[in-house]
Amino acid sequence: MKGMGKSKKAILIVTTILAMPVLSVKANNQAESMPNLVEKWLQLSAQQQRVESEWAAEKPLLEQQLQLLQQEFETLNRNVSSKQGGQSEVAQKRESLASEQQRLEKQQFELQSALKFHRKQLSQIVSRLPPVLQNAWNETLLKWQGDISAQTDANQLQDVLALYQQWADFQKRIVVHEAPIQLNGEEFMVDQLYVGVSQAWFISKDGKTTGVGAPKGTSWVWTAVNDLDTAALVSAIAMYRKQQPASLIQLPYVATPTLGGPSNG
């Protein structure tokens, strides 16, 4: 741990009285790999949302047209024996009806395939997110583990986009959260200070245990770091809660690859 303390870098946190403290963290390449991947998923989701918005707008009109075409077909079919020329018109209407049905079926298949892809991706990355964000996702993820066929495509799309939006919002802001964590089999009640989805610090309520949190492998990992600047961490949390005036402070950045040992929180 002492070796790590010598190699730590400083993160500058600039705060103002009228706004939430802002912390700047220079994330390493490994810490940013997951956000970059999710950003790509966000772009794919936005494209899919536009397609589905157009489809949702067109569907009622198309269904009405299909119903009218079917009614016309039945009328023409009844009169076909007395109107030979109607046979050609019936064939054209039937072909048009079949074409519209195929188009709607294709769009629905594409939507369902996209939803399946994004449900899988979101379920896979949740364990790497900050625990406070994991908890926010759990209700939706548990719902997906049930009978997915009982949920409409529109509801599934809404849920997928909501999770991506929660991730994007968390990535852009600072969050302070109070919760227990596990370190070497022992539970500590701590204050957690998050900067985006890839870096966090914590300090126990008695001020004796400090450390950092970050995604590592397939999980989020809390690691005790004994030589953190406790006073700076306490001040940063107090400024976030508006319990003390804003000031310029520094917090250490500990690269994720040097962490190890303790269990997840």
Question: Would you say residue 11 has pLDDT above 50?
Answer: no
Pairing of strands 19-23, 210-216: unpaired
Domain extents in the chain: 2-26+173-258, 33-171
131-144 vs 86-125: helix crossing angle, rounded to 10: 140
pLDDT digits (tens, 9 = 90+) for 13-52: 333 333 344 333 444 444 455 666 667 667 766 777 776 7
Of 95-109, 168-182, 207-221, the poorest mean pLDDT is in: 95-109
**Whether the Cβ atoms of residue 262 and residue 184 lie closer than 8 Å to each other:** yes
| Per-residue pLDDT reduced to its tens digit, 113-126 | 999 999 999 999 99
pLDDT tens digit sequence for 138-160: 999 998 988 888 889 999 999 99
Q: Give yes or no for a contact between 148 and 156, defined as CB atoms under 8 angstroms apart.
A: yes
Size of the chain in residues: 265
- CA distances to 4, 167, 215 from 259, rounded to whole Å, are 9, 24, 10
Q: Are 13 and 251 in contact (CB under 8 A)?
A: yes
9-16 sheet: strands from edge to edge: 19-23, 9-16, 249-253
* Cβ–Cβ under 8 Å, residues 13 and 22: yes
pLDDT tens-digit readout, 156-195: 999 999 999 999 999 999 999 999 999 989 999 999 999 9
Name the nearest CA neighbour of 248 among 5, 16, 6. 16
Bridge-based pairing of strands 186-195 and 174-183 is antiparallel
> What integer pLDDT is reported at residue 187 of this predicted model?
95
